[in-house]
Amino acid sequence: MLFDTLKIRSCSSVYSPREDSRILADAVEEHATGKVLDMGTGTGILGIIAAKVGCDTTFVDNDVKSIQCARQNAEANGVDGKFIVSDLFKDVKGRFNTIIFNPPYLPSGSVPRAQPLAALEGGRGGREVIDRFLSEYKGYVSRNHEVLMVESSLSDYARDIARLNATVVKKAHYFFEDLVVLMFK
């Protein structure tokens, strides 16, 4: 598993890889192909894994510090890519075979204040960023594509399984929630 072999430096105010990153990393290693968009890249670990398995990776985050951190981590792991500061798809161009997304999925107010809130809180019900992403992603995928996205039982992932005809490719129980990686086409 590549997750444990990479040199990933944590950066101040950037979401550090945790359980959700780990299960999504497993799915990326198994399923990512072609031209990959790592949306909400944070430290860049998921995009780096995609690049390590042979994908052409674009790293996107709305936070300048996250993009700087992802670029440093990519360089430390011998990975090239394109790095874009963008609020979701606003400044993204092109179409992708795989989109990776570890969105902020926890309901607002449920996160201890010591954590970087923007990376964790997804608004009311934990769905605001997820729903915005789902309303926009189709304009950025190739004909043959897949989306790999983490969701939580706290943000009602079952709703997306039904409406997206998604498959649960990874699932784990952590503390107070179930985390899943959904794959949909």
Q: If DSSP states are collapsed to H, E and C, what string results for 42-106?
A: CCCHHHHHHHHCCCEEEEEECCHHHHHHHHHHHHHCCCCCEEEECCCCCCCCCCEEEEEECCCCE
The dihedrals phi and psi of 75, each to the nearest 5 degrees, come to -60, -45
What does the pLDDT profile of the chain (185 residues) look like in tens digits?
899 999 999 999 899 999 999 999 999 999 999 999 999 999 999 999 999 999 999 999 999 999 999 999 999 999 999 999 999 999 999 999 999 999 998 777 665 555 555 667 777 778 999 999 999 999 999 999 999 999 999 889 999 999 999 999 999 998 888 999 999 99
Tokens for 105? 């999925």
Considering Cα of 130, then 128, then 20, then 58, what sign does the dihedral take?
A: positive
The domains found in the chain, sorted by start residue, are 15-184 (3.40.50.150)
C-alpha 126: how far from chain center: 15
Q: What is the pTM of this model?
A: 0.94
